[in-house]
Structure 1
Amino acid sequence: MAAFGARIDSLARGRAVLSMPITAAVGQQHGFAHAGASFALGDSAAGYAALGLMEDGAEVLTVEMKINLVAPAAGMRLVAEGEVVRAGRRLTVVRATVLAVDAEGRRRDVALLQGTMIPA
């Protein structure tokens, strides 16, 4: 995620917010952020949310992740808000909302993710 310029904006127990700039490096042919960038950021936010409920020293892996792309990712920045839906004994169900933020600070949902995480 460092190659995308992603950063962690906030962490709380079972929640994480990450963001990254929308640059030509993550763009697609129509000038929007590529869906892969939205997926990577959302998956990472959901993973950090899950990690926040795991034992100290644990790492996290994605078991599966579904994405719905609901609008073009147009703007200056992508923000992913990840949260834990349910933490089980071994598997953790997560979701993330990815938003595009424009130059005026307006936010628009661009992707919804839901998946499952497991400690590594």
Structure 2
Amino acid sequence: MNDVEARLRGSFAKQTMMQTLGAELEEAAEGRTRIAAPIADHVLQQQGFAHAALAFAIGDSAAGYAALSVLPEGAEVVTVEMKINLLSPAVGDRLVAEGRVIRPGRRIVAVASDVFAEGEKGRKHVATLLGTMVPVEP
């Protein structure tokens, strides 16, 4: 495990929201991350699809950790703006968010993530997010 991955995994382990959702940081590298969460009974909306809040939560975190990966040791980030486009109902066994840095900067980091539903019927793109992260002092 390299330094970037170790730093991101240490931070992720402190996120109680991700723990509540059963999310896991599956990949952590410079400029990109992947977070997965089960589509469990307690995260469904009224029609039986994964709630958009689940897609947003893991998509936002994947983008945020991608941003953190390009910042110096000791830095933290917060989301200052995030837009989500819901593309299709999220049906399957789990959601997977793949976050990436679009443009790193000292004051803002432009980020994006794509969320996919995975299950017996394969993999389907269900949401895309675009946002801005700001570095903050810990």
Could you say which TM-score interval applies, normalised by the shorter chain?
Answer: over 0.9
Code of the residue aligned with 1:119 in structure 2: it is P
Q: Secondary structure at the match of 1:55?
A: coil
Whether the 8 Å CA contact 2:106–2:135 is kept in 1: the answer is: no
Question: By percentage of residues, which structure has more strand?
Answer: 1
Q: CA RMSD in A?
A: 0.7
Q: Greater relative contact order: 1 or 2 (C-alpha under 8 angstroms, separation 6 or more)?
A: 1
Code of the residue aligned with 2:124 in structure 1: it is R
In structure 2, what is the Cα distance between the partners aligned to 1:40 and 1:30?
20
Question: By percentage of residues, which structure has more helix?
Answer: 2
Aligned: 1:114 with 2:130: yes
Query: How far apart are 1:57 and its partner, in Å?
Result: 1.1
Partner of 1:84: 101
Alignment deviations for residues 3-57 of structure 1 (CA, whole Å, 9 cap, x no partner)? 0000000011000000000011111111100001100010000000000001101
In structure 1, what is the Cα distance between the partners aligned to 2:113 and 2:29?
14
Partner of 1:26: 43
| Moved >4 Å (runs of 4+) | none
TM-score in terms of structure 1 length: 0.97
Percent identity between matched residues is: 55
* Structure 1 portions without partners, runs of 5+: none
Query: How far apart are 1:103 and its partner, in Å?
Result: 2.6
Whether the 8 Å CA contact 2:102–2:111 is kept in 1: the answer is: yes
Alignment coverage as a number of residue pairs: 119
